[in-house]
Amino acid sequence: MSSAAPPRPAGRRATLVIDGRVEAGRALLVPRGELVHGCADTLAEALAALPADVGRVDVDMGDVVFMDTAGLRFLELLRGYGDRCAVPVTAGNWTGQPRRILELLGLDTTAPLEGPPHPVAARPVGSAVAAERSERLTVLQEEVEQLRRALATRPVIDQARGVLMALHACTPDEAWDILRDASQLSNTKLRTVAAAVTAGTRGDGPPPPPEVRSALRAALDRAGR
C-alpha cells in the first residue's frame, strides 16, 4: 500500500509519500518527505486503507526530513486513530529538524503520541515556529548591526583614503594599504586611524596621536611615499 499527497503541478513531486505493509496484524507505515500542508490528508488515506482487523500501527519517521506546525495535525490524527480503533499506535525514529521541532514543543521524541492528550491545545502550535523565528531574528539583528557599523565606518575610511591620495599622490589601493598598515603597526582600529587622518586636515582639528602618527609615517615609507 502507498499513499501520496494530493496532486501537485506538473514537475513538482509530492511533499509526502507513505508506504506501508501489514504483517500478522501489525501495520508499518513509512512516511517519506515533509510534514507540511496536506500531510494529514495523506495520512488519513493511508490509515483508511488499513485492514479493519489491524491490531497495531507503528510509524517509522526516519525518512521525514522537514516538519512545520502541520506535523502536529499529523500526530493528532495518529493519536485519534489509536483512540478510535483501540489499538496501540507509535511514531518513532525521529531525526534532524523534525526531532528538533518536537524538542521545542516539549514532546517526547521517542514517543510523542504518549504526551499530553492534546498537544496542540496544551501548547500553542506557534510555539515552535515562534522559537525558530526568535533565533532567526537574533541572527538577523546581529547582521543588521554589523552592516550599520560598516556603513558608519566606511565614509570615514573613504575620506581618509582621499586625503592620502591628495597629499601623497597615491592610488586608492595604495591609500588603503597605508591605512591598514598604520592600523596594524599602531595596534589601533582602522576607523580610528582614518578618523585621525581626516581630523588632522582640518585647521582646528587635533593632530593624530603620536603612535598613530609614527605608524602612518612608517606605512608611508613602506609605500615609498
Q: pLDDT tens, 86-126?
A: 999 999 999 998 888 888 777 788 999 875 434 443 444 44
Q: pLDDT tens, 124-148?
A: 444 555 566 566 656 655 655 665 5
How many Cβ atoms from other residues are within 10 Å of residue 133's Cβ?
12
Please enumerate in sequence order all residues whose Cβ is within 8 A of that of 17, keeping only pairs 6 or more positions apart, or say none. Answer: 2, 3, 4, 5, 31, 32, 33, 42
Q: pLDDT tens, 148-206?
A: 565 566 688 888 888 898 888 888 889 999 999 999 999 998 989 998 888 877 656 67
DSSP 118-183: -HHHHS-THHHHHHHHHHHHHHHHHHHHHHHHHHHHHHHHHHHHHHHHHHH---HHHHHHHHHHHH
Contact assessment for residue 89 and residue 111, using Cβ atoms and an 8 Å cutoff: no
Task: Give 150-222's CATH code, choosing from 2.60.120, 3.30.70, 3.30.200, 1.10.10.
Answer: 1.10.10
Q: Does domain 2-123 have CATH number 3.30.750.24?
A: yes
**Which of 111, 1, 128 minimizes the C-alpha distance to 69?**
128
Can you give the pTM of this predicted structure? Answer: 0.49
150-222 and 2-123 share a CATH fold: no
- Domain parsing of the chain, residue ranges: 2-123, 150-222
What's the Rg (C-alpha) of the chain?
32
